[in-house]
Amino acid sequence: MSALSHDGTRAHRPPPRARPRLADTGCASGRGSSRFRAPDDAPNPPNARPSPRRRTLRGGLQEGHRRRLQRQHRLQRHGRPPVRPLPGQRLLHPAELRPQRLPRRGPLHRLRRPRAPHRAPLLHGRLRRRRRLPHPRVPLRAPRRPRLRQHRQRLGHPPVGPELQRAHRHRLPRRGLLRARRPVSPLAFLLRRVGAGALTVLAVASLSFVAIHALPGDPADVLLDETATPADRLALRTTLHLDDPLPVQYFRFLGDLFLRGMGPSFVHRDRTAFSEVAAVWPSTVALALCAVLVAWLIAIPLAMLAATRPGTRTDAAVGVLSLLGMALPSLWIGPMLVLLFCVALPWLPFPGPDASGPASLVLPSLTLGAGLAGILTRMGRGALREVLREPYIATARAKGLRESTVLVRHALRTALVPLLTVGGAQLSALLGGAVVTERIFERPGLGLLFLESLLRRDVPVVLACVVAFGVTVAVIQLVIDLLYAAVDPRIRVSA
């Protein structure tokens, strides 16, 4: 084969050199043996490859020197001491070797390299990436787990479980959502809730005391007739302690609240304020509970019917009924029910102050629970639609369970949690909203007593009604919190 030279003429290219044969090297493998290899200063045969020691690499380092360096580093990586250091080479520090060879205790423990990112422990669902040290000689921070255990023991906290220690190998924060929490017993949880409810009732009563004294007018002017003289007015104010400063009246109110049953009423001096409240309080509570029961009995079947038939006429009809229940006021629903079931169809007794028995609670309960039934129906339909799309519902159906069992035992139980929250809040609102219903059906109740006492400026009775409302609401919220764990066992009582 020929090629053009620099002057344009065709030059002859020499043929490629053949590889050395086995007979030339004297070795069966063809790579040569050190016993029969020629010395380095001997001339190479024309068809032999150049010696590796004489061939230079791209970096200016001979291949033999590079192989010696590779062997040196390979020995050091496996923890073996070097045979001899190369010229210009330093011995590696023990921290630069494999971390597995370093002791786990002692002075060299601080020199261990951090774990690889893929082997780092999990922290809150993400990989905890430790800071890379600039140099392996920089000591790492000593572990604080024994110190943390001693600190928790001094504070009286129970020891952290092994699962938590393995999952969170870090010091727990002292503040925030991730702080170390002690398990709370049901009795401690109950006592805390009772204490919080008592403070809430006291705060509401104090605000009501300030608000009722800020209203214009004088209770003595309301209690006396037109023939009363200024002397009679002054004597009444002195008897009712209305001339005292406001802080003195407030502390007297606190003493009456805890010791004397809110004191005597301004209108009925022979009865205390709490005695008047106790006479009508059971009637209001019974009416509110019956209204909630009626609302649940109406809302749950309608919500299940609409959730299992989405997009149908049944779903649309249930939606219209729920909107009507929320939109129509009690002032219209009550008289319509009286005209229907007492006049047109005389199935129920006519309402009045003399009406008694369970039949007298039917119409007031329907009137008061219509709005709550509409709210619970709409919320229950949405909650059931969301729960029915969960994977465990598909698993229950795949096991061959009946649709009613899947709907009642699996779906409805989970959907009741938000309904309990709304039902508890609405029950508290029904206690205050029962004034209109009690006025329509002429039933003695707490709301009607509060309204009449406020118009007559009977301060002790008004404050007693406020305290009774507050205590009832606190008890309702406590019962709702305890029902959460009964409905959904995944909800744990915590601090």
Q: Confidence band (pLDDT; 50, 70, 90) for 344?
A: confident
**108-122, 170-184, 224-238, 307-321: least confident range:** 108-122
> DSSP assignment, residue 158?
P
pLDDT at 353: 67
pLDDT at 36: 43
Please give the structure tokens belonging to residue 479: 């019962």
Count of residues making up the chain: 495
pLDDT of residue 127 exceeding 50, the answer is: no
pLDDT at 299: 92
pLDDT of residue 436 exceeding 60, the answer is: yes
pLDDT at 317: 92
pLDDT at 439: 82
Are residues 298 and 321 in contact, defined by beta-carbon separation less than 8 angstroms? Answer: no
On average, the pLDDT of the chain sits at: 71
* pLDDT one-digit tens code per residue, 265-285: 888 877 888 888 888 888 888
Work out the average pLDDT over 476-480. Answer: 84
Calculate what percentage of the chain has a pLDDT beyond 70.
60
Q: Torsion over CA of 228, 229, 235 and 237, rounded to 10 degrees?
A: 70
> DSSP assignment, residue 411?
I
Work out the average pLDDT over 18-22. Answer: 47
* pLDDT one-digit tens code per residue, 43-82: 555 555 555 444 444 444 456 666 777 776 666 665 555 5
**310-324, 398-412, 476-490: least confident range:** 476-490
Work out the average pLDDT over 8-31. Answer: 48
Work out the average pLDDT over 256-272. Answer: 78
pLDDT of residue 364 exceeding 60, the answer is: yes
Angle value at C-alpha 433, between 428 and 438, nearest 5 degrees: 125
Q: Give the distance, in angstroms, between the CA of residue 207 and the centroid of all CA atoms in the same chain.
A: 31
Work out the average pLDDT over 440-462. Answer: 84
Specify the amino acid at residue 187. L
pLDDT at 30: 44
Q: Give the distance, in angstroms, between the CA of residue 370 and the centroid of all CA atoms in the same chain.
A: 32
pLDDT of residue 319 exceeding 80, the answer is: yes
**217-221, 252-256, 277-281, 290-294: least confident range:** 217-221
Q: Confidence band (pLDDT; 50, 70, 90) for 17?
A: low
**169-183, 233-247, 436-450: least confident range:** 169-183
Query: What does the alpha-carbon distance between residue 397 and residue 387 come to, in Å, rounded to a whole number?
Result: 13
C-alpha gyration radius of the chain: 45
**Domains, in order of start, for the chain:** 273-487 (1.10.3720.10)
pLDDT at 148: 56
pLDDT of residue 322 exceeding 70, the answer is: yes
Residue 445 vs residue 85, higher pLDDT: 445
The most confident of the ranges 32-46, 66-80, 162-176 is: 66-80
What are φ and ψ of residue 146, in 5° steps?
Answer: -60, -40
pLDDT at 79: 56
pLDDT at 218: 74
Are residues 245 and 485 in contact, defined by beta-carbon separation less than 8 angstroms? Answer: no
Residue 103 vs residue 364, higher pLDDT: 364
Angle value at C-alpha 331, between 327 and 336, nearest 5 degrees: 90
269-306 residues labelled b (16+ CB within 10 A) or e (exposed): eeebbbbbbeebbebbbbbbebbbebbbebbbebbbbb
State whether residue 353 is helix, strand or coil: coil
